[in-house]
């Protein structure tokens, strides 16, 4: 399944399939991006980050792709599991501090059996 | 658990009352951040500290809000004369700046309801 963020805020994925969550960012000068997962009633949980000198970074079952030309970020989740159901946020650094982040509105991922 | 800890988890207060929240960051982290999150939205930056110094405040942080980190460890966020528009999740996060560094790690927040 594939999402375009604000235009498709809910992404339904069958268990075992790959998920792709998309995010458009606003500032072409942004040099750091990060993905968070947020479950109901909990704070955002760090998934993976990427600096602007890279275009791809892999973690455990997740891959982040960065296309600076079109200011686009995506998160790919391999073999989606029920525990992956959550809201996913992309965020970009703004200002001088690495922890000062501008968050997108989020995408709800629902994993169906 | 050595994650970011926030207290209380939930707070219900009447309009006009003062409230204070506490955050204990990850122990070796030198930067501490406060964010606010309303339902269906991403978190919004409010302020941050490096050690005990408050380095930046967002324009979202009205003069009814004050944050402190007196000894460079835990932090408090106080809201005076609460308004219904203050109802939100208040998130604390911490990171390590310096050799190695770390991404921002969030606590589970304090949910404030102003009636």
Would you state the pLDDT for residue B100? 55
Q: Do B104 and A97 touch (CB under 8 A)?
A: no
Single out the residue of A77, A68, A65, A62 nearest to residue A110, CA to CA. A77
| CA-closest candidate to residue A107, choices A65, A76, A66 | A76
Max intra-chain CA distance, chain A: 43
Residue B109: which of A43, A46, A98 has the nearest Cβ? A43
Confidence of residue A34 (pLDDT cuts 50, 70, 90): very high
pLDDT of amino acid A8: 45
The helix (H) or strand (E) run that includes residue B23 is strand B19-24
Indicate left, alpha or beta for B24 from its phi (over 0: left) and psi (-120 to 50: alpha).
beta
Which range among A6-20, A82-96, A99-113, B7-21 shows the weakest confidence by mean pLDDT?
A6-20
CA atoms within 13 A on the CB side of A34: 23
CA distance A15 to A79: 7
Q: What is the pLDDT of residue B99?
A: 58
Question: Taking 70 as the threshold, does the pLDDT of residue A3 lie above it?
Answer: no
Q: Looking at chain B, which residue has its C-alpha nearest residue A43?
A: B108
- Has residue A111 got a pLDDT over 80? yes
Rounded to whole angstroms, the Cα distance separating B109 from B37 reads: 9
Residues 6+ away with beta carbon under 8 Å from A58:
none
Asked if the C-beta of A44 comes within 8 angstroms of chain B's C-beta atoms, the answer is yes
The mean per-residue pLDDT over the stretch A2-6 comes to: 41
Confidence of residue A5 (pLDDT cuts 50, 70, 90): very low
Asked whether the predicted pLDDT for residue A7 surpasses 50, the reply is: no
Q: What is the pLDDT of residue A94?
A: 83
Q: Do residue A95 and residue B56 have CB atoms under 8 angstroms apart?
A: yes
A81 CB-near residues (< 8 Å, 6+ apart): A15, A111
Q: Is any Cβ of chain B less than 8 angstroms from the Cβ of A102?
A: yes
Give the residue ranges of chain B where pLDDT is below 70: 1, 99-101
Question: CB distance B106–A45 less than 8 Å?
Answer: yes
Distances (CA, A) of A86 to A11, A17, A21, B42: 10, 16, 12, 13
Q: What is the mean pLDDT of chain A?
A: 90
- φ/ψ of A5, rounded to 5, equals 65, -115
The confidence score (pLDDT) of residue B2 equals 76
**Token pair listed for B6:** 């926030």
pLDDT band at A98 (very low <50, low <70, confident <90, very high): confident
Rounded to an integer, what distance in angstroms lies between the CA atom of residue A32 and that of residue B85? 31
Q: Is the pLDDT of residue A106 over 80?
A: yes
Note the pLDDT of residue A97. 80
């Amino acid at each position: 399944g594939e999402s375009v963020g604000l235009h498709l805020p809910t992404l339904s994925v069958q268990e075992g399939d790959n998920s792709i969550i998309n995010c458009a960012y606003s500032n072409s000068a942004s040099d750091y991006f990060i993905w968070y997962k947020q479950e109901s009633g909990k704070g955002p949980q760090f998934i993976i980050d990427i600096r602007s000198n890279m275009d791809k970074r892999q973690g455990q079952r997740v891959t982040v792709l960065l296309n600076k030309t079109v200011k686009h970020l995506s998160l790919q989740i391999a073999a989606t599991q029920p525990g992956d159901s959550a809201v996913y946020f992309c965020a970009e650094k703004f200002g001088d501090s690495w922890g000062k982040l501008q968050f997108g509105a989020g995408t709800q991922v629902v994993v169906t059996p | 658990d050595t994650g970011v800890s926030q207290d209380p988890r939930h707070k219900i207060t009447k309009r006009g009352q003062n409230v204070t929240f506490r955050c204990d960051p990850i122990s070796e982290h030198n930067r501490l951040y406060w964010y606010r999150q309303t339902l269906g939205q991403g978190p919004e930056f409010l302020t941050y500290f490096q050690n005990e110094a408050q380095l930046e405040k967002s324009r979202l942080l009205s003069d009814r809000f004050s944050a402190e980190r007196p000894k460079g460890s835990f932090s408090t966020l106080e809201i005076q004369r609460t308004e219904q528009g203050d109802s939100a999740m208040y998130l604390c996060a911490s990171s390590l700046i310096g050799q190695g560094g770390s991404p921002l790690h969030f606590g589970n927040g304090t949910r404030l309801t102003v009636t």
